[in-house]
Amino acid sequence: MIDRDEIERAALVDFHCHLDLYPDHQAAIARCDRDAVYTLAVTTTPKAWARNHELASKTKFVRAALGLHPQLVESRADELALWKELVGETRYVGEVGLDSGPRYYRSLDAQKQVFGEILERCADLRDRILTIHSLRSVTAVLDMIEAKLPISRGKAVMHWFTGSAAEMRRAIELGLYFSVNHMMLEGEKRRALVAAIPLDRLLTETDGPFTHVSGRPSQPTDVSLAVVELARLHGIEAPAMARRITANLRSLIG
């Protein structure tokens, strides 16, 4: 029987969570500190940055990321200028990237323009850490990272990776990390893809409140579910996997 308390004592990491989309934003952040979950609070627009940064700056376990979500580019591309004004205030950038799903394909050119300028600015600043959305756009995302954000100038984490095995190999070669949630470990095909991620490139996430556990929105502590499944996948104890992921976080931000 796996002791969840033992996993949590080993520390947990939720590297992609929309804390400002929970009913009580301030309480959601406070829970991360109370439960000792290292949490990256991503934002979807630059206008959300100020409040996220204000609340996160008072905590030990939460950091805010400055984002401009690709699904919102069609209506909010004009906020790129504000993003550029604010990015000097944080090392963390996200959620950013590309989405060529049916609902957002028509804005793909605009998304590429925005994402390209984000990557270029991050490269100029050199030490930024990005969490990247790549739905149906993995090759395009990797092309742009390779061209505009070499590993010597920044670090990137593929959030909820849904690409092919070949695209994963390329992302690994480019030095990228991957944040994995429990839904990515459902089914043999998904598990096989996740199993190919090197252990030293693994992080965990919830993408809460967009994922669910037992019919409710995921909370940052629910990354323990991904930890348990990743441990089973690799044949190690869950606390050891939790420590591995925490070590990866230290390496990423170090």
pLDDT in tens, 189-230: 999 999 999 999 999 999 999 999 999 999 999 999 999 999
Task: Please give the single-letter amino acid code of residue 2.
Answer: I
Distance CA 230, CA 182 (A): 9
Tally of CB atoms within 10 A around 147: 12
Share of the chain above pLDDT 70, in %: 96
pLDDT in tens, 46-86: 999 999 999 999 999 999 999 999 999 999 999 999 999 99
Q: Under 8 Å CB-to-CB from 30, ≥6 apart: which residues?
A: 59
pLDDT in tens, 141-154: 999 999 999 999 99
pLDDT in tens, 16-29: 999 999 999 999 99
Distance CA 146, CA 195 (A): 24
Q: Which of 9-13, 133-137, 160-164, 189-193 has the lowest mean pLDDT?
A: 9-13
Reported as a pLDDT band with limits 50, 70 and 90, residue 9 is low
Reported as a pLDDT band with limits 50, 70 and 90, residue 254 is confident
Distance CA 146, CA 53 (A): 29
Distance CA 190, CA 130 (A): 23
Q: What is the pLDDT of residue 3?
A: 42
Reported as a pLDDT band with limits 50, 70 and 90, residue 11 is confident
Task: Please give the single-letter amino acid code of residue 133.
Answer: H
Reported as a pLDDT band with limits 50, 70 and 90, residue 12 is very high
Which DSSP symbol is given to 114? H
Q: What is the pLDDT of residue 145?
A: 98
HEC profile for the chain?
Answer: CCCHHHHHHCCEEEEEECHHHCCCHHHHHHHHHHHCEEEEECCCCHHHHHHHHHHHCCCCCEEECECCCHHHHHHHHHHHHHHHHHHHHCCEEEEEEEECCCCCHHHHHHHHHHHHHHHHHHHHHCCEEEEEEEECCHHHHHHHHHHHCCCCCEEEEEECCCCCHHHHHHHHHCCCEEEECHHHHCCHHHHHHHHCCCHHHEEECCCCCCCEECCEECCHHHHHHHHHHHHHHHCCCHHHHHHHHHHHHHHHHC
Comparing 172 with 5, which gets the higher pLDDT?
A: 172
